[in-house]
Amino acid sequence: MTPLEITGSIFGSMLFFMALRFPIAISMFLAGAIGYVSQAGWLPFSNFVNAQAFARFAGYDLSVIPLFILMGNFATKGGISKSLFAFAASVMGGFKGGLAMASLLACAAFGAISGSSVATAATITGVALPEMKRHGYSGRLATGTLAAGGTLGIQLPPSVVLVIYAILTEQNISKLFAAAVVPGIIAMLGYMVAVAVYVRLVPGQAPEVDNDREPMTMAKVWGVLPILMIFSLVFGGIYGGLFTPTEGAAVGAAATLITAVCKGEMTLEKFKECFLGTATSAAMIFLIFVGADLMNAALAMTQVPNQLAAVVGSWGLPPLAVIGAILLFYVLLGAVMDEMSMLLLTVPIFFPMVMGLDFGMPKDMVAIWFGIMVLMTVGFGLIAPPVGLNVYVVNSMSKDVPMAESYKGVMPFLVSDVLRTLLFLFFPIVPLWLVGFIG
C-alpha cells in the first residue's frame, strides 16, 4: 500500500469504529494500532504501548488539566453561580432582554474560573433558566442564550481546550490564556449585541418592560467578590511570575474550595461529587489523549502529514485561504465529531502546515493566533446543529422546550461567532495585542 492509502485506511477505520458507537478514544486507539502494526510490526508497537500510559499520564504539563477541572467542579457545586447571576441581573436588568444579557455576563464570569464549556452552560442554566422563564422569556431565547453563553467557559481563560492545544503544539499556556482574554470579552459583548438585536427584530421573545427588576445591593457586590479574588489570585500569580499554570490551577482549586466552604454550600456529599465528576471528565480526556497519541504516531510513520505540509506550502496559496479552509474543515468535522477529539487528532497534522506558511508575523505569534482561531471553531461546534453538545445539555435541563426551538435560539449567536472569527482572521492583532505585554 502507498503511504496515502495507509493514511486513508487509518482514518477510514477510525470513522468506521466511531460509526459503530465505539468510544471515540477507543476508535482512535484501534485505528492507530492497526496502522502502527501494519507499518512497523507488533514488536515496535508493543514497545510503544509499554510506556505510553506512563508517558501520557505522568507529565507535569498535563497535570494542569485535572486541577482546572477540579477547580471548575468546586465552583459548580459551591453555589457561586447564584450570587453571580443575582449580581449580573442587577447590572443588566435595565436593558431589553436584560436577563439574557445577565446570563451571558454570568457565564463569562463563571468561565473565568472554569475551563469547561459544558459545565459553564449547565451551572448557569441551573440558576438563570428558571428566572428567565419567570420573567416571560421564550424558551427559544433562554436556551439559545445559555448554550452559547456556555462556550464562554472555554473562550475565557482558564480553558481546557487551550491547555490541550498548548500541550500538542508545545506553546506557552500563559501566553495562550492571555491571547484568549480580549477575544473572550469580545465574544461576550458580541453575544449581548446578538440578544439586543434579536429581541428587537423578533417580537415575543423577551418582555417589553421588566417591572420586576432587582436593585443592586452591597450584598450582591460582596457575593461576587470571591470570584474576582480567585481570578486575580490565579492569573495575577501566573502573570506576575509567582507560579506556573499548574501551580495556579492548584491554588485556584484550593481557593475555590475555601470560598465554597465559607459560603456554607460545600457538604461532604458535594465534596465527594466534585472528585467523582473530576474523575469522569479527566478520564475521558486522557483516554482520548492515549488514542490520539497512537493514531498520530501511526500517521507520522506514513510521512503523509509532513508531505502534506510541504505540498500545501508549494501550492503558493494565500496563507489566509489555507487557514480559512482548515477552519471550514473543523466546522464540518465538528458537526459529527466531539471537538476535543477533533483537536487531538488534527492539530498535530495541521499545525506544521500552518507553521510552514508566511503570515508576516513571528512564528510563535502565528502559533498562538492559530490556537485562538481553532478555539473559535470549537466554540462554534459546541452550539451548531446537528450536534451541539451545549445545546443538548441546556435543552435537557429545560424539558418543555423542543430541541428545534433551542437550535433556532442559537442562530443569532452563530452569526455573532462567524463575524468574530472573521475579525480575528483578518486582524490577528486583536487576540495578540495582550500577549505583547507578557515577557
State in angstroms the smallest separation of the CB of 71 from another protein.
Answer: 9
Q: Residue 21 has what DSSP assignment?
A: T
Restricted to residues 60-89, the positions that interact with another protein (CB under 8 A) are 60, 62-63, 66-67, 69-70, 72-73
Opening angle at CA 74, ends 93 and 260, nearest 5: 70
State in angstroms the smallest separation of the CB of 26 from another protein.
Answer: 5
State in angstroms the smallest separation of the CB of 274 from another protein.
Answer: 9
Residue from 6, 18, 108, 327 in contact with another protein (CB under 8 A): 18
CB 274 within 8 A of CB 77: yes
| Residue-wise DSSP of 396-428 | HT-TTS-HHHHHHHHHHHHHHHHHHHHHHHH-T
Using CB under 8 A as the binding rule, whether residue 273 contacts another protein is answered as: no
Distances (CA, A) of 91 to 106, 302, 391: 11, 56, 26
Using CB under 8 A as the binding rule, whether residue 342 contacts another protein is answered as: no
Restricted to residues 371-410, the positions that interact with another protein (CB under 8 A) are 386-387, 393, 396
State in angstroms the smallest separation of the CB of 373 from another protein.
Answer: 23
Q: Which long-range contacts (CB under 8 A, 24 or more apart) does 358-367 make?
A: 358/319, 359/319, 359/320, 359/428, 361/428, 361/432, 364/171, 364/175, 365/428, 365/432, 365/435, 367/169, 367/171
How many residues belong to the site for another protein (CB under 8 A)?
68
Restricted to residues 107-126, the positions that interact with another protein (CB under 8 A) are 116, 118-119, 122
State in angstroms the smallest separation of the CB of 169 from another protein.
Answer: 20
State in angstroms the smallest separation of the CB of 24 from another protein.
Answer: 5
Residue from 145, 246, 302, 395 in contact with another protein (CB under 8 A): 246
Opening angle at CA 98, ends 95 and 101, nearest 5: 120
Is the CB of 330 or the CB of 424 nearer to another protein? Answer: 330
Using CB under 8 A as the binding rule, whether residue 26 contacts another protein is answered as: yes
Using CB under 8 A as the binding rule, whether residue 296 contacts another protein is answered as: no
Phi and psi torsions of 320, nearest 5° = -65, -30
Using CB under 8 A as the binding rule, whether residue 423 contacts another protein is answered as: no
Mask 149-188, x = binds another protein (CB under 8 A)?
Answer: ----------------------------------------
Is the CB of 25 or the CB of 132 nearer to another protein? Answer: 25
The number of angstroms, rounded, from the C-alpha of 324 to the middle of its chain's C-alpha atoms is: 20
Phi and psi torsions of 391, nearest 5° = -65, -40
Residues in the chain: 439
Across the chain, how many H-helices and E-strands are there? 21, 0
State in angstroms the smallest separation of the CB of 385 from another protein.
Answer: 11
Measure the CA–CA gap between 261 and 267, rounded to whole angstroms.
8
Distances (CA, A) of 68 to 119, 237, 348, 395: 12, 15, 24, 26
Residue from 250, 365, 383, 414 in contact with another protein (CB under 8 A): 250
Sites of contact with another protein (CB under 8 A): 17-26, 29-30, 46, 49-54, 57-60, 62-63, 66-67, 69-70, 72-73, 116, 118-119, 122, 242-244, 246-247, 250-251, 253-254, 272, 275-284, 286-288, 290, 336-338, 340-341, 386-387, 393, 396
